[in-house]
Chain A
Amino acid sequence: MTERESLRIITEMISSSKSNLRENTVFYLLWGWLVLAASLLHFILIQAGYRHAYLPWPVLMIAGTVVSVFIAIRMGRKATVRTYTDTMMIYLWWGFFMTVVILMSFAFSGRLSWGTAHPLIVSLYGLGTFVSGGVLKFRPLILGGMACWVIALSAFFIPADFMLLMIALSVIVAYLIPGYMLQSKN
């Protein structure tokens, strides 16, 4: 084997082992649509004067968690390789999930107002999306994450109920648009 052949093998193998961006798409689309549906339904039910207008959240979020865990287990079984990016994503999004659960438990107990909890949750998934975009080198996710922070700050200027519409907007820019762009990219 010549030195030039060595160089070719190394280059070929390293470039062939790059992470498949498309693998993550399913989670962005799933959570994008679920959060969009929950926030819009919550807003509509408030306007309709329904007493338990918040109900779409626990129902859709629990369903989303069950489906996500199921998909992740199935993907894990099928995967023949584990990249450092995969591991980093797992820790990042589990960390995000646990932090959101803690935040929500404070909000449900009444020790934190939803007016504060909502923008904090939006900025947290902004963080997750921003970091994911940076790691995957995918600009729409980076911009989507940054948009979440701007949307979270907008909570200072708008009534609490309308924050639900801003949540809907945040998942469109941070999850759905980048999700469909990722899907069409590969």
Chain B
Amino acid sequence: MLPALDPVLHSPLRLAIISLLFTVESAEFNYLLEKTGATRGNLSIQIGNLQEAGYIFVKKSFRNKYPLTTCRISPKGADAFRKYIETLKTYFPPGT
């Protein structure tokens, strides 16, 4: 039986967010919104879920009087993403 994939990451939007944050140092809410094509509400919820799991750090601040949310991946999130990829590989045996 194949190993189970991390349920926190095994959701399209959460996986998209963590994939983006894995490759950059930090990203603002609007960047994630543009790249994932998600709705504001859904993105907010999934960012909250990833933060709750300890996979990302979220910083709330202000720029020109507007609220600004900046996200970055945590070491725990980066490890979880690497593990997810390793597990995912087992689903695709060499040559498939």
Taking a contact as CB atoms under 8 Å apart, the answer to whether A81 and B88 are in contact is no
Main secondary structure of the interface of A (DSSP, over half): helix
On whether A5 and B12 interact (CB within 8 A), knowing A13-B19, A14-B19, the answer reads yes
A39 to B51, CA, bound (A): 54
Main secondary structure of the interface of B (DSSP, over half): helix
B12: A residues at CB distance < 8 A: 1, 5, 9
A116 to B22, CA, bound (A): 45
A16 to B19, CA, bound (A): 10
Interchain pairs with CB closer than 8 A, number: 63
Taking a contact as CB atoms under 8 Å apart, the answer to whether B23 and A14 are in contact is yes
Taking a contact as CB atoms under 8 Å apart, the answer to whether B88 and A9 are in contact is no
B35: A residues at CB distance < 8 A: 13, 16-17
CB distance from B11 to the nearest CB of A (A): 7
A9 to B13, CA, bound (A): 9
Taking a contact as CB atoms under 8 Å apart, the answer to whether B19 and A81 are in contact is no
Taking a contact as CB atoms under 8 Å apart, the answer to whether B25 and A3 are in contact is no
A98: B residues at CB distance < 8 A: none
CB distance from A147 to the nearest CB of B (A): 31
A86: B residues at CB distance < 8 A: 25
A87 to B12, CA, bound (A): 29
Q: What band does the interface of chain B fall in when counting residues whose beta carbon is under 8 Å from A?
A: 20 to 34
Taking a contact as CB atoms under 8 Å apart, the answer to whether A13 and B20 are in contact is yes
A80 CB-CB contact with B under 8 Å: yes
User: Which residue of the partner chain A has the closest CB to B72?
Assistant: A82
B45: A residues at CB distance < 8 A: none
Taking a contact as CB atoms under 8 Å apart, the answer to whether A83 and B15 are in contact is no
A51 CB-CB contact with B under 8 Å: no
A77 CB-CB contact with B under 8 Å: yes
**Residues 5-56 of B contacting A (Cβ, < 8 Å):** 5, 10-12, 15-16, 19-20, 22-28, 30-31, 34-36
User: Which residue of the partner chain B has the closest CB to A10?
Assistant: B19
A10 to B63, CA, bound (A): 30
Taking a contact as CB atoms under 8 Å apart, the answer to whether A3 and B19 are in contact is no
User: Which residue of the partner chain B has the closest CB to A84?
Assistant: B25
B62 CB-CB contact with A under 8 Å: no
Q: Which of A6, A10, A84 contacts B24 (CB 8 A)?
A: A84
On whether A82 and B24 interact (CB within 8 A), knowing A7-B92, A17-B35, the answer reads yes
Interface residues in chain A, defined as those with a beta carbon under 8 Å from any beta carbon in chain B? 1, 3, 5-7, 9-10, 12-14, 16-17, 77, 80-84, 86-87
**Shortest 5 CB-CB contacts between residues of A and residues of B:** A13-B19, A80-B31, A3-B91, A80-B28, A81-B31
